């Protein structure tokens, strides 16, 4: 689909104009050819009609000579010759081509005969016009005298404009003198007649008029076609502009960015440059729109777009990707230089609206020119998948989202692996739940005083057919983010309820088991009833199930949380505050909420100064819990001295590797039999 889209865009951009252009040029050449042909045909026609005139004169001459030949050919020829005009001539030759008689300016050149198709019987030769005097002398014919006698006389000019115009029209442009053979059939004599074929201004005017008519007849379709081509170029340009227009910011859109970035990254000349693909995100755009309206939001985007566009130089690219996400392709010398440039940009961007606080986060994907090196041979990048690397930059940006201190993150392989894992988990979580790949593990809780097993915590394990045992840290945060955690918790609550009821039915020893309830549940109004239903479906005693709520849940909607906890208590469940002390202090919550058990986070028992300061805090916290009538459980206990210390302080239960790690239900059954 993506390929098809790219192909059709490419076709639209490049090819659509060519057919019209080619058609136009073909038609233009055709028309020019046609005009040239029309003019040359007409010119031929003019020339032919001129030659036809000469031919008629030659025929008249032939008839005249034939009519007189019986008496004396020589005499009749000399009569004709004497009455010739100055441009004409006659020449009589015998069978050996010896000239017997010649009148006129020149003699024919018998070596340069050229046939003209139109006149089969006549031979037309260009006049050599040379050595006329010599010939004249040789034949001892007073040609000079003849000319004078046959001369037209001086041309008289008068003021009559019509006459002047006609004279102007008759003025010669060029002349071809030619000799024609006159058909005589007389004792192997050959008679040649000389005349001029003249091209006058009038002929040229006719030619020009015909040319103008031809051009104007053909220019109409040419102009129409040209208009068509030009308008389709204009339309196409407009369409391309629209195709690349971001209607919100008025700048370039994502299609342009992908196209342009590909061009920059994949061209050979740029293959040795380092580039950075950048995803710049403005935080809380929706909040901004909610406060100031959509129009202000769009104006802000336009403002940011204009600012970023101005920061992008030649050989770089910029466009808006979506909502408040912008993509930049920057040319950099190094990663440090790129980060510095972006930091400067962010500092300026923050102040773009003086009255409003704006925050941005940036993800970078560095595009190195060198892909790999084999020995001395360096391999530079060829094709870059712009879409893909933009998403890498975006993944890097998502890593720092929500961080107040860090605004820029460069993509690395670990981010990619996390992204891939997240995708994999999200793709398979639902089928895993259906296939019962999630299993209940139980970690026992011991009394440090009696050393007896007094309770347990249900902890989920994902037994994946492909990846084996997966611990909650690898998928619980993903489920919490996408909301699937509520389904998993329901599954665990039901599972524990089933276990407790089966144990009771089988008459086995039973201890209370705690189940983690994610804070995501506490947005549900009827959570207490819902949990009740799940447990009741197995007929399980509510008192045998404890619900663990993490400390962070106590920072949400306090009233709702308080109400739900109270309802759960009324239903007979005991409630514990998990990971107490891990996050922000929630001492205040202890005052308001009817909590039964306080679970000290394992962080209390880690660190260097645990011996002194940690002991004091634990001691005081245990005291506080006791005063509030709460039981206390210490998590993450691994050493004997910790157990002894906690026993001295009156800690009720210990959950830690010192006693046992989380285990399967079967193992736990054996433990209960042995240790409780
Ligand atoms: P948590 O509820 O605080 O569970 C205690 C975690 O501490 C467990 O990790 C347990 O294996 C670990 N732990 C216990 N004693 C020791 C010790 O001595 N040393 C060390 N290093 N670790 C110890 P686990 O099973 O990996 O679970 C991690 C977290 O995942 C849990 O912390 C809980 O927040 C969450 N979780 C587990 N199962 C579920 C579940 O079914 N639903 C929900 N919502 N969260 C769950
Ligand atoms: Mg827990
Ligand atoms: Mg815990």
Phi, psi of 272, deg, nearest 5: -100, 5
Going by C-alpha positions, the residue among 586, 541, 597, 546 that lies closest to residue 568 is: 546
Position in ligand 1 atom list of the atom nearest CA 485:
44
Residue entry with tokens 């207490």: 528
Query: What is the residue with the minimal CA distance to atom 24 of ligand 1?
Result: 472
In this structure, the dihedral spanned by the alpha carbons of residues 59, 61, 63 and 64, taken in order and rounded to 10 degrees, is: 170
Angle between the 335-350 and 294-311 helix axes, to the nearest 10 degrees?
Answer: 140
Q: Identify the three-state secondary structure at position 126.
A: strand
Ion ligand 3 contact residues with beta carbon within 5 A: 578-579, 635
380-437 pLDDT, tens digit per residue, is 666 788 999 999 999 999 888 877 778 999 999 898 888 889 999 999 999 999 999 9
The residue whose C-alpha atom lies closest to atom 16 belonging to ligand 1 is 636
Distance CA 174, CA 552 (A): 109
**Which ligand approaches the C-alpha of residue 438 most closely?**
1
Higher pLDDT, 83 or 490: 490
Q: pTM of whole model > 0.85?
A: no
61 vs 638: which has the higher pLDDT: 638
For ligand 1, atom 4, which residue shows the shortest CA distance?
Answer: 459
> Which of these ranges, 74-83, 210-219, 406-415, 528-537, has the smallest mean pLDDT?
74-83
Condensed to tens digits (0 to 9), the pLDDT of residues 424-436 reads 999 999 999 999 9
Tokens of 167: 């004279």
DSSP 311-355: H--TT-EEEEEETTEEEEEEEESSHHHHHHHHHHHHHHHHTSSTT
Residues 6+ apart with CB under 8 A from 48: 118
Q: CB of 638 closer than 6 A to ligand 1?
A: yes
Packing angle of the helix pair 201-243, 2-14 (nearest 10 deg): 150
Neighbours of 334 (CB within 10 A): 11
Instruction: Report residue 434 CA to chain centroid gap.
Output: 42
Report the C-alpha gap between 121 and 182 in whole angstroms: 8
What does the pLDDT read at residue 495? 97
Pairing type for strands 317-322 and 325-332 reads antiparallel
* Ligand 1 closest atom vs CA 492: 41
3-state SS, residue 184: strand
- State the Cα–Cα distance between residues 489 and 473, nearest whole angstrom: 15
Those residues whose C-beta lies under 8 Å from the C-beta of residue 518, and which sit 6 or more positions away, are 479, 480, 485, 486, 489, 550, 553
Could you identify the atom of ligand 1 that is nearest to the CA of residue 460?
38
Q: For residue 554, how far is its CA from the centre of ligand 3 (angstroms)?
A: 15
The Cα-based distances of 255 to 239, 258, 259, 278, 282 in angstroms read 13, 5, 6, 16, 21
The residue whose two tokens read 């202090």 is 585
Per-residue model confidence as pLDDT tens digits over 574-619? 999 998 887 665 677 777 788 999 999 888 887 665 567 778 888 9
Q: Is 489 in the pocket of ligand 1 (CB under 6 A)?
A: yes
**pLDDT band at 257; cut points 50, 70, 90:** very high
Contact 394, 411 (CB under 8 A): no
Res 132: pLDDT: 36
**Token digits of residue 546:** 């404890």
Picking from 602, 573, 577, the residue whose alpha carbon sits closest to that of residue 588 is 577
> Which pLDDT does position 107 carry in this prediction?
55
- β-pairing verdict for 631-635 and 317-322: unpaired
Q: Alpha-carbon distance 297 to 225, whole Å? A: 47
Confidence band for 153, pLDDT divided at 50, 70 and 90: very low
Provide the β-strand partners of residue 364: 278, 410
CA distance linking residue 57 with residue 63, whole number of Å: 10
Residue 608, pLDDT score: 60
492 lines ligand 1 (CB under 6 A): yes
- If DSSP codes are grouped into helix, strand and coil, which group holds residue 531? helix
pLDDT of 275: 93
Whether residue 264 contacts residue 276, with contact meaning beta carbons closer than 8 Å, is answered with no
Domains of the chain: 22-140+175-213 (3.30.450), 254-370+383-411 (3.30.70.270), 429-675 (3.20.20.450)
Report which DSSP code applies to 360.
E
- Angstrom distance (rounded) from CA 331 to CA 315: 8
| Best CA proximity match to 46, nearest among 168, 165, 176 | 176
Comparing CA positions, the residue from 412, 398, 388 lying closest to residue 261 is 388
- Structure-block tokens of residue 17: 């104009």
With the C-alpha atoms ordered 649, 653, 654, 655, is the resulting torsion angle positive or negative?
negative
546 lines ligand 1 (CB under 6 A): no
If DSSP states are collapsed to H, E and C, what string results for 305-321? HHHHHHHCCCCCEEEEE
Question: Residue whose CA is closest, atom 22 of ligand 1?
Answer: 636
What count of Cα atoms within 13 Å lies in the side-chain half-sphere of residue 90? 31
């Amino acid at each position: 689909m993506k390929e098809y889209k790219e192909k059709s865009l490419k076709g639209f951009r490049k090819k659509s104009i060519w057919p019209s252009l080619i058609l136009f040029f073909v038609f233009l050449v055709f028309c020019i050819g046609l005009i040239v042909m029309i003019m040359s045909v007409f010119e031929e026609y003019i020339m032919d009609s001129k030659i036809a005139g000469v031919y008629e004169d030659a025929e008249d001459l032939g008839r005249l000579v034939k009519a007189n030949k019986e008496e004396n050919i020589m005499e009749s020829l000399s009569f004709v010759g004497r009455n010739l005009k100055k441009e004409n001539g006659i020449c009589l030759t015998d069978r050996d081509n010896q000239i017997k008689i010649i009148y006129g300016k020149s003699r024919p050149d018998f070596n340069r005969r050229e046939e003209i198709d139109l006149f089969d019987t006549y031979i037309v030769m260009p006049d050599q016009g040379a050595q006329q005097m010599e010939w004249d002398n040789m034949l001892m014919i007073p040609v000079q005298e003849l000319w004078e006698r046959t001369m037209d006389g001086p041309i008289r000019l008068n003021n009559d404009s019509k006459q002047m115009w006609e004279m102007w029209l008759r003025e010669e442009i060029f002349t071809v003198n030619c000799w024609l053979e006159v058909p005589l059939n007389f004792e192997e004599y050959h008679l040649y007649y000389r005349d001029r074929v003249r091209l006058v201004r009038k002929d040229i005017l006719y030619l020009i008029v015909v040319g103008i008519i031809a051009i104007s007849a053909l220019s109409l379709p040419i102009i129409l076609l040209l208009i068509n081509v030009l308008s389709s170029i204009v339309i196409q340009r407009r369409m391309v502009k629209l195709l690349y227009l971001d209607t919100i910011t008025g700048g370039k859109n994502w299609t342009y960015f992908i196209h342009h970035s590909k061009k920059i990254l994949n061209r050979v000349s740029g293959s040795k440059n380092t580039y950075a693909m950048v995803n710049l995100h403005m935080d809380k755009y929706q909040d901004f729109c909610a406060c100031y309206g959509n129009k202000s939001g769009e104006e802000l985007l336009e403002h940011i777009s204009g600012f970023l566009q101005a920061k992008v130089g030649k050989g770089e690219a910029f466009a808006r990707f979506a909502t408040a996400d912008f993509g930049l392709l920057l040319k950099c010398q190094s990663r440090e230089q790129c980060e510095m440039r972006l930091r400067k940009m962010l500092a300026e961007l923050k102040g773009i609206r003086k009255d409003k606080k704006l925050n941005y986060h940036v993800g970078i994907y560095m595009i190195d020119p060198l892909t790999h090196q084999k020995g001395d041979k360096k391999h530079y990048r060829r094709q870059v998948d712009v879409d893909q690397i933009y998403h890498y930059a975006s993944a890097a940006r998502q890593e720092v989202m929500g961080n107040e201190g860090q605004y820029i993150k460069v993509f690395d392989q670990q981010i990619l692996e996390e992204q891939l894992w997240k995708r994999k988990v999200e793709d398979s979580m639902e089928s895993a739940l259906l296939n019962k790949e999630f299993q209940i593990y139980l970690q026992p809780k011991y009394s440090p005083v009696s050393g007896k097993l007094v309770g347990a915590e249900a902890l989920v394990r994902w037994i994946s057919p492909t990846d084996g045992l997966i611990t909650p840290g690898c998928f619980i945060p993903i489920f919490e983010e996408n909301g699937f955690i509520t389904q998993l918790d329901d599954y665990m609550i039901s599972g524990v309820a089933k276990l407790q009821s089966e144990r009771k039915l089988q008459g086995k020893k039973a201890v209370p088991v705690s189940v983690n309830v994610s804070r995501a549940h506490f947005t549900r109004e009827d959570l207490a009833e819902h949990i009740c239903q799940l447990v009741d479906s197995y007929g399980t005693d509510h008192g045998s199930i404890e619900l663990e709520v993490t400390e962070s849940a106590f920072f949400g909607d306090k009233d709702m949380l308080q109400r739900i906890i109270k309802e759960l208590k009324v239903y007979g469940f005991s409630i514990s505050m998990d990971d107490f002390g891990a996050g922000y202090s929630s001492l205040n919550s202890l005052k308001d909420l009817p909590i039964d058990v306080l679970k000290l986070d394992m962080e209390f028992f880690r660190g260097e100064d645990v011996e002194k300061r940690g002991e004091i805090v634990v001691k005081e916290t245990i005291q506080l819990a006791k005063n509030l009538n709460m039981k206390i459980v210490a998590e993450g206990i691994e050493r004997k001295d910790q157990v002894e210390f906690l026993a001295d302080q009156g800690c009720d239960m210990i959950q830690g590797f010192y006693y046992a790690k989380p285990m399967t239900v079967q193992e736990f059954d054996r433990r209960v039999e042995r240790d409780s």
